[in-house]
Amino acid sequence: MHSANRLARFLLPSAILFLAVSCVNHQETAQSASDNLCDPAKPGTAASCKWANEMQQKLNASFTDAHRYSGQRCRVTLLWSQPGRFAVIRAEGDEPLCLRAWQLVGGTSALPAPPNPQQPAWFEFAPATPQAPPAATGAG
């Protein structure tokens, strides 16, 4: 029983210290990770929004079958792995588009680096909807 009390006196402070450090590290990681998250409603996200737009444009240039995914959306989580390349670590949304986004990210080279390459990056992927010619809308 005596050794159990001694062990408890050692483990309790260690556990409290571990939890305190974990909370601090989580807050720092969350703050750093937000460097790569575009939120137009928040000031200070201009760099991440610029990056997300560049990613969308670069991927849409290779997205020749975009019309098949009209109205679908996919939030892609990426890790910068080497210059011009990403590793997709998660894709959430419409499954057909997410699978296609995964393929596009894996097959497209010279992609732009996120604002903070050491942290995960997110972007909302959606097919570009081409503008209809004026004659088709009756406007021209």
Question: Which residue has 């305190």 as its token pair?
Answer: 20
User: What is d(CA 73, CA 95) in angstroms, rounded to the nearest whole number?
Assistant: 9
pLDDT tens for the chain, 140 residues long, are: 555 555 445 444 444 444 443 333 333 344 445 778 888 788 778 888 899 899 988 988 888 899 999 999 999 999 998 887 899 999 999 999 999 999 999 988 889 999 999 999 988 888 876 544 445 444 44
**Domain coordinates of the chain in residue numbers?**
36-128
- CA distance linking residue 121 with residue 113, whole number of Å: 9
Considering the entire predicted model, what is its pTM?
0.64
Across 35-96, the runs of DSSP E, i.e. the strands, are 74-82, 85-93
Q: What's 36-128's CATH class?
A: alpha beta
- Rounded Cα–Cα distance for residues 103 and 133 (Å): 30
